[in-house]
Amino acid sequence: MYSKTILIGRLGKDPELRATQNKIPVANFSIATSEVSVQNGVKIEKTEWHNIVAWQKNAENAAKFLKKGSLVFVEGKLAYKKYTDKNGIERYQTEIIVYTLKFLTPAKVQSPQEDSSSYDFGEFAPFEEEPKQQEQRNSAAWDDDDGIPF
């Protein structure tokens, strides 16, 4: 059993991509989540920062497509690290280890044939499959002679 964390937030800076000694890609970045409340008629915004660690393909895609300010959906597990800083003080850090990473900010397309306001989500669109494809898949499940989809 593990913890499950789901966040939607904006990157505070560009992801930092590196590789382990075994050449496994890992990316680190932080995202901010905000909560707005009203207390005594005053609007108060509270921002929390979360350290994110992405591995392998998620790490490569994060480094390639995400930039400071990008909006992302992150699903993963909590991990806790204990370390000693340069002054000899023990510190603790909480991280989210990414299982699912969805890009919610569209990537700008810069093409001479298209105007600068067009967007390309590519294969990383935060949407489900095209309705036509989904409809074809659903109808294929009912092609059995007895009309039962299983």
Cβ atoms of residues 125 and 61 within 8 Å: no
Could you tell me the CATH superfamily of domain 5-106?
A: Nucleic acid-binding proteins (2.40.50.140)
Question: In 116-140, which positions are buried (b, 16+ CB within 10 angstroms) versus exposed (e)?
Answer: eeeeeeeebeeeeeeeeeeeeeeee
Locate the domains of the chain by residue range.
5-106
Rounded distance, CA 58 to CA 102, Å? 9
| pTM for this prediction | 0.67
Mean pLDDT by 10 residues, the chain (150 residues): 89 96 96 93 94 96 94 95 94 95 74 40 39 43 46
